[in-house]
């Protein structure tokens, strides 16, 4: 797949991803817009600039792997896969419908491009460690990218995986934390204090990169830096905004798992389309 290198085009593609996210959730009448929208810029860079894959050969051995650890953000993954050519964009309208391949959480046995079925929070990094270690053992050059929610870091299994990755020197593994500071129950720091988050990852032996998760240049630079790191895994702590790109959803925990109604959909698409056409 030909990569997009121009920042302006990457920004436009990220808005196209947001447009699809909001549309499919509204069509389904349920879903998780907040965390899907906050990860849209990062996901866009991964799929349209950073990763090596072939939609025509989804099981290509040397492909880079993307694991959506926060599986409830499935609309983000589906929008990325459809826009990358894994299936027709028209299928996005089937989200969460009976017998659809696009279930509420990703199912690897149903849809090409979905590496792992996810949804039970905390498991994605462990799975990614196994894939990354297998790549090392088999002398493969592929990389493994894992997107985690910050609320997901409440799960102890994440930190077991973090220890394992450092111990095994998995420098082919990159975790990205979508640090939007909101989870289903509200402010992450009120639910379970995560800070000092940078110090935690440092103590677990990871290379740490801090970025604005909506700044395309910073995201691109972060992945370039990841490529230079040796003998330790990398974590990108990305400051993001829950519901980014839809003004009435931004920084609102209530939009973690609620679909927009017809009037809200109209407003959301109008905002996104204005940026697409700018």
Q: What is the pLDDT of residues 134-180, one digit of tens each?
A: 999 999 999 999 999 999 999 999 999 999 999 999 999 999 999 99
For the chain, the 3-state helix, strand and coil shares in percent, each to the nearest 5, are: 45, 10, 40
Distance CA 247, CA 272 (A): 10
**In the structure encoding, which two tokens stand for residue 66, read together?**
């993307």
The whole-number average pLDDT for the span 233-248 is: 98
Place of tokens 């450092």: 166
The mean pLDDT value for 212-221 works out to 98
* Pairing label, strands 173-179, 182-183: unpaired
- Report DSSP state, residue 223: H
Q: Would the pTM of this model clear 0.85, i.e. be above it?
A: yes
Q: How far apart are CA 220 and CA 200, in angstroms?
A: 24
Report DSSP letters for 180-197, one per residue: -SEETTEEHHHHS---SH
Average pLDDT over every residue of 61-86: 98
Continuous segment of H or E residues that includes residue 100: none
Contact 40, 18 (CB under 8 A): yes
**Are residues 50 and 63 in contact, defined by beta-carbon separation less than 8 angstroms?**
no
Euclidean distance between CA atoms 37 and 89, whole angstroms: 18
DSSP structure class, residue 149: E
Q: Is it the case that residue 1 has pLDDT exceeding 80? A: no
Residue-range domains of the chain with CATH: 7-277 (3.40.50.970)
């Amino acid at each position: 797949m030909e990569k997009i290198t121009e920042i302006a085009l990457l920004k436009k593609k990220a808005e196209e991803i947001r447009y699809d996210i909001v549309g499919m959730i509204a069509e389904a009448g349920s879903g998780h817009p907040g965390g899907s929208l906050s990860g849209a810029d990062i996901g866009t860079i991964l799929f349209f600039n950073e990763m090596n894959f072939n939609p025509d050969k989804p099981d290509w051995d040397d492909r880079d792997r993307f694991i959506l650890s926060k599986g409830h953000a499935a609309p983000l993954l589906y929008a990325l896969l459809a826009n990358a050519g894994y299936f027709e964009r028209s299928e996005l309208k089937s989200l969460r419908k009976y017998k659809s391949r696009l279930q509420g959480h990703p199912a690897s046995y149903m849809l090409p491009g979905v590496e792992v079925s996810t949804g039970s929070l905390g498991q994605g990094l462990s799975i990614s460690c196994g894939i990354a270690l297998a790549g090392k053992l088999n002398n493969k050059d592929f990389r493994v990218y894992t997107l985690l929610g910050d609320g997901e870091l409440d799960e102890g299994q994440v930190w077991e995986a973090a220890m394992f990755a450092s111990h095994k020197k998995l420098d082919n593994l990159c975790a990205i934390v979508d640090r939007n500071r909101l989870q289903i129950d509200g402010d992450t720091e009120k639910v379970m204090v995560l800070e000092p988050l940078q110090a935690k990852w440092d103590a677990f032996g990871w290379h740490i990169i801090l970025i604005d998760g909506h700044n395309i240049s910073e995201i691109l630079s972060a992945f370039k830096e990841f490529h230079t790191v040796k003998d330790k895994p990398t974590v990108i702590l990305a400051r993001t905004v829950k519901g980014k790109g839809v003004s009435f959803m931004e920084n609102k925990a209530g939009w973690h798992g609620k679909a927009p109604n017809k009037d809200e959909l109209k407003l959301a698409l109008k905002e996104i389309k204005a940026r697409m056409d700018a």
